[in-house]
Amino acid sequence: MLTHSEENHLKCIYHLSNKSNGAINTNAIAKSLETKAASVTDMVQKLATKGLASYLKYKGVRLTTKGEKEALKVVRKHRLWEVFLVKELGYNWDQVHDIAEQLEHIKSSTLIDKLDTFLEYPKFDPHGDPIPDANGVIASKPTTTLNILKPGDTCTVICAKDSSSDLLLFLDKVHISLGSKLEVIDYFEFDGSYSVKVDNGSAITLSTKVAENIFIDKL
């Protein structure tokens, strides 16, 4: 059983490994976790002892397969809880990180899969980051935006490209949220706007600018 601190270090190393390749520096971890290099050294040695990381003095850390598996579990929990907080409890995506940071450490062999089912197996969190499945398989970040769709196409909304509150307010007003199902009814060459049905309801109009800023999952 891993401690909160061990899980945090694993997750941190996992994230840093995705940004740069090669082993991860003690200092980078310390900065990211807002702790001190000396403390990181201790934890990293502990993770190595447990077979979760490979560590060479002065050279940096990497996760082992086992360590990455554990890191992905934490990432999965964090992102699923974020979906819950935004989709179900009505938080904004910029408010949920600290709470998810705590919820990701809840220990239970069944909880997270039940939550996943409850949320209907979301593939992305409210920031657009992919959610690992129960086996630790993880997709890449979304690249498709609404404006590549043609009339007749359908999709689900993943997240906004930029999280300016102006855009969020607009989306909220037209009842587009995380996971909304959209159907493109029409496209108008004149101004590049779209007519779109939201969750099989009434059709609304979206400007090019809006369409360019909504990440989607094409169906």
Contacts with a second copy by CB under 8 A lie at 85, 88-91, 98-99, 102-103, 106-108, 110-111, 114-115, 117-118
Angle at CA 145, nearest 5°, toward 126 and 115? Answer: 25
Tokens 């990701």 sit on residue: 104
Footprint of DNA on residues 25-54 (CB under 7 A)? 25-28, 35-46
Under 8 Å CB-to-CB from 125, ≥6 apart: which residues?
A: 78, 79, 80, 82, 83, 131, 159
Measured from the CB of residue 74, what is the shortest distance to a second copy in angstroms?
Answer: 15
Question: Residue 206 has what DSSP assignment?
Answer: E
Instruction: From the list a second copy, DNA, none, pick the one residue 107 interacts with, judged by a Cβ distance below 5 to 8 Å according to partner type.
Output: a second copy
Backbone angles phi, psi at 105, to 5 degrees: -100, 0
Measured from the CB of residue 89, what is the shortest distance to a second copy in angstroms?
Answer: 4
Q: Does 97 participate in binding DNA (rule CB under 7 A)?
A: no
Nearer to DNA, 40 or 182 (CB): 40
For residue 127, CA distances in Å to 43, 50, 55, 76, 214 come to 29, 32, 32, 14, 12
Nearer to DNA, 35 or 193 (CB): 35
Nearer to DNA, 49 or 164 (CB): 49
Instruction: From the list DNA, a second copy, none, pick the one residue 5 interacts with, judged by a Cβ distance below 5 to 8 Å according to partner type.
Output: DNA
User: d(Cα 214, Cα 209) in Å, to the nearest integer?
Assistant: 9
Please state whether beta strands 154-160 and 214-218 pair in parallel, antiparallel, or not at all (unpaired): antiparallel
Of 158, 155, 176, residue with least CA distance to 218: 155
User: d(Cα 105, Cα 107) in Å, to the nearest integer?
Assistant: 6
Instruction: From the list a second copy, DNA, none, pick the one residue 214 interacts with, judged by a Cβ distance below 5 to 8 Å according to partner type.
Output: none
x/- mask, DNA, residues 51-80, rule CB under 7 A, reads: ----x-xxxx--------------------
Measured from the CB of residue 175, what is the shortest distance to DNA in angstroms?
Answer: 42
Binding site for DNA (CB under 7 A): 3-6, 25-28, 35-46, 55, 57-60
